[in-house]
């Protein structure tokens, strides 16, 4: 069960394709304010969800920030 809940691996070096997918995931899996706190906009689970964590970790592993990719987080 713990393998199901573990974070997705971040492969290095980060490829352009990984970075594109991470930027897309970060946009779609952003926080949304709800009555019980922040939820993932896509999955409706507590934010950050696994995909959001992977996206942000991948972006940082590439040496960039979300702002450099045009993100607003």
CA distance 51 to 55: 6
For the chain, the C-alpha Rg in angstroms (whole number) is 13
For residue 73, name the pLDDT band (cuts at 50, 70, 90).
very low
Chain segment 9-48, per-residue pLDDT in tens: 999 999 999 999 999 999 999 999 989 899 999 999 999 9
Q: Using CA atoms, how far apart are residues 10 and 61, in angstroms rounded to an integer?
A: 8
Residue 46 is classified by DSSP as B
Question: What is the value of pTM for the model shown?
Answer: 0.84
pLDDT digits (tens, 9 = 90+) for 40-70: 999 999 999 999 999 999 999 999 998 888 7
């Amino acid at each position: 069960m713990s393998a199901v809940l573990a974070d997705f691996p971040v492969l290095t070096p980060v490829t352009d394709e990984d970075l594109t997918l991470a930027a897309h995931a970060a946009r779609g899996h952003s926080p949304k304010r709800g009555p019980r706190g922040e939820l993932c906009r896509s999955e409706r689970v507590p934010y950050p969800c696994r995909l959001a964590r992977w996206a942000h970790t991948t972006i940082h592993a590439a040496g960039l920030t979300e702002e450099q990719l045009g993100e607003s987080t």
